[in-house]
Amino acid sequence: MRRLVLGGMAFIVGFGTLSVGAEERQENNKHNKLGEISIIGARLPSATFSELTTSTVIGAETLEPHSMTSTVDAVGLAPGVYVEQPGGRGSRSSLYLRGADPNATLIMIDGIKVNDPNSSLGGTYDLQLIDPTLIEQIEVVRGPGASIYGADALAGAINVYTKAGRPPSAARVNATVGADGMRGARGSYSYSGDGQSGMLQVAYRDDGEPVEGSEFFNRSLAFSHRAAIRSASTVGVQVFANNNDSTSFQDDSGGPRYATLRELERRESEDVATNVSFEFAPTVRQEIKLALTYFTRDELTDSPGIAPGTRDPFGIPASVSDSELKRYGLVGAVLNRYTDGHQTIFGAEVTSEDGDSRSSIDFGGFPVDSSFALERDTQALFFYGRLRASENVTAEAGLRADHVEDGDTEINPSASARWDFTSTTALRVNWGRGFKLPSFYALGNPIVGNSDLVPEKSQMLDGGLVFSRVGPFELIELTVFRNKFKNLVDFDAGPPPQLVNRDEVVTQGAEVSASGTMSDKVSLAAQATYAEHEIVGSSDVLFNRPEWVGSASVSYAFRPATTVAARIRYTGSRYDSSVPTDTVKLGSYFRVDANVNHQFTESTRGVLGIDNLFDEDYEEAVGFESPGMRAYATVEVQW
């Protein structure tokens, strides 16, 4: 299969060049109403390549005026997204996209996949490890994505792009101080000229101790460089790295309020993500891109265990885990643009993963080895095409085949259509299938692992109306969705205790979002999501899934140099569980964050902000109290 994929890469490049090169002699300057597909990032193409997808882009126009102190807060502005952050940032954050499990969403940084299959949580990634000051934009794709992205895009995908250098060259430094010991700093240098551009950023953040036991220290680096080596060729390098130390009460412990054992869980992690790419445009109708990616993650977790309680009469034993993941990837794609707005992408991808966990579980003074080591090689071919059936009707279709060495081949199709039946109103429909390979932990853990696990599957359908230029709103979207997940990995108490494929879950609901400029001074964006979640054939409830979530963000430039911004977030009631309490229904809450940005001089800017402005008292997990009202100040200097 690997030879087939590598041969496919060569054939794709050669055939694509011939097929479009001859056609280039014909001029075609027709405007494409839906915009062109773009090859961006290491995993191709970008989530914003098409307005047919159900996606949201959180860009600089939102990130800069709101000066958010956590990436979790930024991602939570997208429809269909609920992010649980128990207590302070020392706890892991968990993202639920349209009610799917956190490990059902593909997470990428600059197009590089960062999901961790060594994790006992099933292969997710903690978004709060990405410092928000490094981010250029965040793309959130809800629904079908596996035909392009492959495994792990079971419910959708999130791509976080770090900032890139642009003219003019500049250096910036900023410093932040806040309540409860919060402090942070960032420095950056961007450069451009002579066909080159780039940016180097470093950041440090100490979250203090906003709630008992929660501490979070993060050090990050992001580097990007692009250089034109010929008139139609570009090479690029992107590097993202972070180092994190954190402490918190253990998940399911009941947090500071209910935990009997007061010893804290401690975690240390290091991530490095690298992408080296080559882009070549032999004609104005063709783009060719090759990208070589590397991701490594080391994590040490020391968990003290949880004392016996109502839910678990034996409690949860202490454990220590030191894991390492290495992932190598090679991806290539050719984009062809034809007459009348038709476009195709042919691509191939090879991925090699090596996971190693040195771990043990302490059963009352008797440590039991729970180490494992696994490797996985995956090869894939994919196709995506756009057809302009008429001036007002556009259709897209995708197909991807992923072959796991010594395993089965997963084939996942997708289809989308859009009908612009007026100049401001369109109907959009998306359908697709996805899959997720069992994590290394689920396959290899010698205590609960199961080598017979099969991939989890999903089938997703969404559709709705898109309105543009409605009064002061630039865009209004109404979407209904229905997702079906099967073969979900669940824990069977046995005996023997083991992870098994069992659950089938259906989530369905609706999303509404609107954004626009109320005047030359006021910008507004708002969204709300309603979702129902059901385990088929069971009366059990799914935890951490509110039926209602919503948010609104507004910024007001009441003076040329001063902008006031505020965000309000609503989270509905939901069920959670802990060892001391068993199942608990947590109450709904509103939270408001606000800040003032002021440009003192052309080179000096200041921010004064307050998170949880009204000191709302709420729990995102049982026993984990929310951080109270928290003020902070930032000063930035540029030269």
Amino acid at 198: G
Amino acid at 398: G
Q: DSSP labels for 409-475?
A: EEEEEEEEEEEE-SSSEEEEEEEEEEEEPPPHHHHH-TTT--TT---EEEEEEEEEEEEEEETTEEE
Task: Give the C-alpha distances (Å, rounded to integers) separating 446 from 261, 367, 370, 438, 490.
Answer: 27, 13, 6, 15, 16
Predicted pLDDT of residue 50: 62
Buried b (16+ CB within 10 A) or exposed e, 46-72: bbbbbbbbbbbbbeeebbebbbbbbbb
Residue keyed to tokens 């008797």: 366
Q: Is 42 left (phi over 0), alpha (psi -120 to 50) or beta?
A: alpha
DSSP summary character for residue 639: -
Contact by Cβ (8 Å): 279, 16: no
Task: Give the C-alpha distances (Å, rounded to integers) separating 216 from 123, 213, 219, 342.
Answer: 22, 10, 10, 49
Closest listed residue to residue 133, CA positions, set 199, 63, 217: 63
Predicted pLDDT of residue 570: 97
Q: How many alpha carbons lie under 13 Å from residue 412 in its C-beta half-sphere?
A: 30
Q: For residue 512, which phi and psi values (nearest 5 degrees)? A: -135, 135
Q: How many alpha carbons lie under 13 Å from residue 409 in its C-beta half-sphere?
A: 10
Q: DSSP labels for 358-391?
A: EEEEESSS-EEE--EEEEEEEEEEEEEEEEE-SS
Q: Domain 2-638 classified CATH 3.40.50.360? A: no
d(CA 417, CA 432) in angstroms, rounded, equals 12
CA angle, corner 578, sides to 576 and 579, nearest 5? Answer: 155
The helix (H) or strand (E) run that includes residue 598 is strand 589-601
Residue 166 CB coordination number (10 Å): 14
Task: Give the C-alpha distances (Å, rounded to integers) separating 469 from 463, 478, 528, 613.
Answer: 20, 15, 20, 33
Task: Give the C-alpha distances (Å, rounded to integers) separating 206 from 69, 72, 217, 259.
Answer: 11, 16, 5, 25
d(CA 436, CA 445) in angstroms, rounded, equals 18
Contact by Cβ (8 Å): 439, 117: yes
DSSP summary character for residue 404: E
Predicted pLDDT of residue 232: 85
The helix (H) or strand (E) run that includes residue 207 is none
Closest listed residue to residue 297, CA positions, set 94, 41, 112, 118: 118
Amino acid at 448: V
Predicted pLDDT of residue 565: 96
Strands 574-578 and 582-586: antiparallel
Predicted pLDDT of residue 36: 54
d(CA 162, CA 174) in angstroms, rounded, equals 17
Q: Is the dihedral of CA 449, 454, 459, 460 positive or negative?
A: positive
Q: Kindly state the tokens that stand for 129.
A: 């490890």
CA angle, corner 196, sides to 194 and 198, nearest 5? Answer: 140
Contact by Cβ (8 Å): 271, 596: no
Predicted pLDDT of residue 39: 47
Point out the residues of the chain with pLDDT beneath 50.
1-34, 39-42, 45-49
Q: DSSP labels for 3-15?
A: HHHHHHHHHHHHH
Contact by Cβ (8 Å): 92, 254: no
Predicted pLDDT of residue 52: 78
* Residues listed for the chain: 639
Q: What residues does 594 pair with on adjacent strands?
A: 566, 610
Residue 14 CB coordination number (10 Å): 11
Task: Render pLDDT for 399-432 as a digit per residue (tens, 0 to 9).
Answer: 999 999 878 899 999 999 999 999 999 999 999 9
E strand spans, 231-366 = 233-248, 265-283, 286-303, 318-337, 343-362
Buried b (16+ CB within 10 A) or exposed e, 360-383: bbeeeeeeeebebebebbbbbbbb
The distance of Cα 316 from the centroid of its chain, to the nearest Å, equals 30
Q: Kindly state the tokens that stand for 529.
A: 């999501």
